[in-house]
Chain A
Amino acid sequence: MVRVGGTLVNYIWDFSAVFSHADLLILGLRNTVLLAIVSIAIGLAVGLALAALLLCQYRVPRYAALAFVEFYRSTPPIVHFFWFYFALPVLFNIEMSPFAAAVLALSTQSSAFYAEVFRGGILSIERGQREAGSALGMTKAQAMRRVVLPQAVARMIAPLVERSFELTKTTALASTLAFADLLYQAMMINSETFRPLEVYTLVALMYLILLTFASALARIGERRAARWR
């Protein structure tokens, strides 16, 4: 029951029209997952490289990476979607599919956030750990690989998962480029069935189930990475 303007309205839920378009929703879910996974993968790789620059002892690469991170931290994601999709063709004559533009926008933005997580994780390991490694005769690279990273990764998992969830929800912006993600499919179904409550409730549920599932996986991973705690 919903109260509208002081009177009680009996809304009759009816999912049948929506369910008849289930195939469209499944396709949307598939596209959303695909977009998220590709963007997360690229974002992690670029983020790792950025973190290396942020931790670099030379000033120029460090400041360049810092500027990149700052830029993405202080601009709204939808601007990046529009920029890659509409500005690149005009400026550089680079045409790309909505999917490619969305991947670019999402992965560059998240790489900036991932980089911060990587950097913070590595810096959070006490100096004594690295020193204990080098006191044994390890090279800097060995101390990083054997001592610092295994501990840092355990601390990074939770914030990385958090960022990835954020990214997965941001994939919905790809619908503004007419990419057939979950939200876009929902809008299509809605314009045919005029059942917005059912459509968007169902879509919200699908996001919820997707992310809950991912969250359970992440928790298992985190426990594995930090058995020693």
Chain B
Amino acid sequence: MNKPILSVTDLHKSFGPQHVLKGISLDVQAGERIAIIGGSGSGKSTFLRCINFMEMPSQGRIALDGHSLGSVKQTRAGETRVNYAERELCQVRARVGMVFQQFNLFPHMTVLENVMEGLVTVKRAAKTEAREVALSQLTKVGLSNRLDAYPSQLSGGQQQRVAIARALAMEPEIILFDEPTSSLDPELVGEVLRSIRVLADEGRTMLLVTHELGFAYHFATKVIFLADGVFHEVGTPEEVLKEPKQQKTKEFLRRFNEFAF
């Protein structure tokens, strides 16, 4: 096995008294596509958001490309704590792309400006250069004809594709998708999934939280079932989705497929 590009070790996350993630470890190799499934409120979003530090882990270490993030400090009580500098977190976030369930496009910017924004503000790229990159990413998601539109003038599916282009423009080493199709009308789901599949064909490293089990099956190299704050079952799509071993996974899938035809 190669050196993982992302390595999560014994990750815990609590919100006050609520212990959401209870010790999660995961190594991600370059090119892996990991689908994370699980019940509502099981902590799927929290896990993704800890990876790019939108939420601060309560405990555990995250390493990117072999470099452990944050610095360990001893508190006076003798406990160890990990401190993160804002500068370091910003650098990490620029290297890890994120696509949100609610798109979160910048409504005051055009499609093109949305995609250029990270390059110009964070990477300090020249406008002409940023424009070129943005244009090629927008072409990839099939929106090169809507450059000057504002997000409010686009359908949900189009908005999410712009959001994907916005994340891609930063040339992230890993892309995190948090239920990218959950707030879309059913007939718009396909166009977004197709865009994600193009990225899979490019060999990008991705973590995807989804309720689209069919897509997870075809898309993922690895499927993780998250329950009770831990990885309950991990395996190939075949193993986890077709022949689950754990009782909980079976029940989850049964509930999910209750109305399948």
Contacts and interface: CB of A to CB of B under 8 A. Distances in A.
Contact of B122 (A138, A151, A154, A228): A138
A193 interface: no
A229 interface: yes
Contacts of A136: 93-94, 117-118, 121-122, 166-167, 170
Interface string B64-99: 000000000000000000000011001101110110
A131 interface: yes
Given A129-B106, A132-B100, A137 B94 contact: yes
Interface in A143-202: 146-147, 150-151, 154
B170 A137 contact: yes
Contact of A228 (B87, B108, B118): B108
A16 interface: no
Given A135-B52, A135-B98, A229-B152, A142 B108 contact: no
A131 B117 contact: no
Interface in A209-229: 226, 228-229
A150 B117 CA distance: 14
A140 interface: yes
A128 interface: yes
A128 B121 contact: no
B59 interface: no
B199 to A, nearest CB: 17
Contact of A135 (B93, B107, B123, B150): B93
Nearest to A135: B98
A147 B106 CA distance: 7
Contact of B108 (A132, A137, A139, A154): A154
A31 interface: no
Contacts of A138: 90, 118, 121-122
Contacts of A139: 86-87, 90
A132 B105 contact: yes
A132 B86 contact: no
Interface in B149-169: 150-152, 166-167
B177 to A, nearest CB: 12
A142 B121 contact: yes
Contacts of B166: 136
B54 interface: yes
Contacts of A132: 100, 104-106
A128 B90 contact: no
Given A142-B122, A146-B117, A151-B107, A134 B90 contact: yes
B104 A129 contact: yes
A131 B54 contact: yes
B42 interface: no
B234 interface: no
Given A132-B104, A228-B108, A137 B91 contact: yes
Contacts of A150: 108
B11 to A, nearest CB: 19
B200 interface: no
Interface in A110-150: 126, 128-129, 131-140, 142, 146-147, 150
A154 B107 CA distance: 12
B202 to A, nearest CB: 20
Nearest to B153: A228
A226 B123 CA distance: 27
Given A137-B118, A138-B122, 16 more contacts: A128-B102, A129-B106, A135-B54, A135-B97, A136-B121, A137-B95, A137-B123, A137-B170, A138-B90, A138-B118, A147-B106, A151-B108, A226-B108, A228-B107, A228-B109, A228-B152
Interface of B: 52, 54, 86-87, 90-91, 93-95, 97-98, 100, 102, 104-110, 117-118, 121-123, 150-152, 166-167, 170
Interface of A: 126, 128-129, 131-140, 142, 146-147, 150-151, 154, 226, 228-229
